[in-house]
């Protein structure tokens, strides 16, 4: 129950600072579980999404940085039914997300896409399964900008060193005051895995936008 409180408080903390946040987040296309994922939207791009629609990143993230890629290769990578992949790609081409070359075996390339977010931040509650969560973060290298480990009590030097070696930050949560105290700031990493970064960003922003639209309606 304590972890649930910290996760919810962390998500609320970042939501109040203009991030779109999600607790209990499983990174799409993986079995990697993150306690809290938060993305800072690039508002100009996000507003364009509301007019143009969201990108079908489950397929299109395979095209990011790949140049021309054949239809057969996309089907093998996604493991989706060929008819479904074709329909999604045709829709994406109609919305000018991608270009399709139809001579011979069809192939595609992405056009003007960029993820509609400035930053992706991952947070883990360190009170349980700490070593497992450290390994999860290692697997996600290249697709996030900053990472934090949250504790509701003082952290020993050995634990701190393990976290710092990853470039992650250490944060103390004071539940009685609803306050997060930054003990060690997180390092900022460049995004190297653009495809997975796009998956995380689009997924979280899509959910966030629909929640807000439902509230307005």
Predicted local confidence at residue 186, as pLDDT: 97
Q: Which CATH architecture has domain 56-110?
A: Orthogonal Bundle (1.10)
205 CB-contact burial (10 Å; exposed 0-12 / middle 13-18 / buried 19+): buried
CATH of 2-46+116-212, one of 3.30.420, 3.40.1350, 3.40.50, 1.10.3470: 3.40.1350
Helix and strand element counts for the chain (H, E): 8, 9
Fold match between 2-46+116-212 and 56-110?
A: no
User: Comparing C-alpha atoms, which of 143, 138, 145, 133 is closest to residue 57?
Assistant: 143
Q: What is the mean pLDDT of each run of 10 residues along the chain (217 residues)?
A: 88 93 89 94 75 69 82 86 87 83 86 83 95 95 96 94 95 92 96 88 81 57
Contacts of 154 (CB under 8 A, 6+ apart): 172
Q: What is the pLDDT of residue 53?
A: 65
* Domain locations along the chain: 2-46+116-212, 56-110
Sequence-ordered list of residues with C-beta below 8 angstroms from that of 36, at least 6 positions apart, any chain:
7, 10, 11, 14, 21, 22, 23, 25, 122, 123, 124
Question: What is the per-residue pLDDT for 55?
Answer: 66
């Amino acid at each position: 129950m304590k972890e649930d409180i910290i996760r919810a408080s962390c998500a609320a903390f970042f939501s109040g600072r203009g991030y779109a946040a999600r607790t209990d987040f499983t990174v799409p296309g993986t079995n990697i579980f993150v306690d809290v994922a938060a993305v800072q939207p690039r508002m100009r791009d996000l507003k364009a999404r509301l007019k143009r629609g969201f990108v079908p990143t489950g397929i299109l993230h395979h095209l990011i940085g790949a140049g021309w890629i054949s239809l057969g290769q996309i089907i093998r990578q996604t493991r989706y039914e060929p008819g479904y992949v074709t329909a999604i790609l045709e829709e994406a081409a109609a919305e000018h997300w991608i270009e399709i070359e139809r001579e011979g075996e069809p192939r595609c390339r992405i056009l003007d896409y960029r993820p509609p977010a400035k930053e992706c931040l991952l947070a883990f509650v360190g009170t349980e399964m700490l070593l497992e969560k450290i390994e999860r973060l290692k697997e996600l290298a290249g697709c996030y900008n900053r990472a934090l480990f949250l504790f509701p009590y003082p952290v020993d030097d050995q634990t701190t060193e393990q976290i710092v070696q990853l470039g992650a930050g250490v944060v103390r949560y004071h539940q009685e005051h609803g306050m997060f105290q930054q003990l060690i700031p997180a390092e900022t990493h460049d995004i190297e895995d653009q495809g997975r970064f796009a998956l995380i960003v689009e997924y979280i922003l899509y959910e966030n936008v629909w929640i807000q639209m439902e509230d307005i309606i």
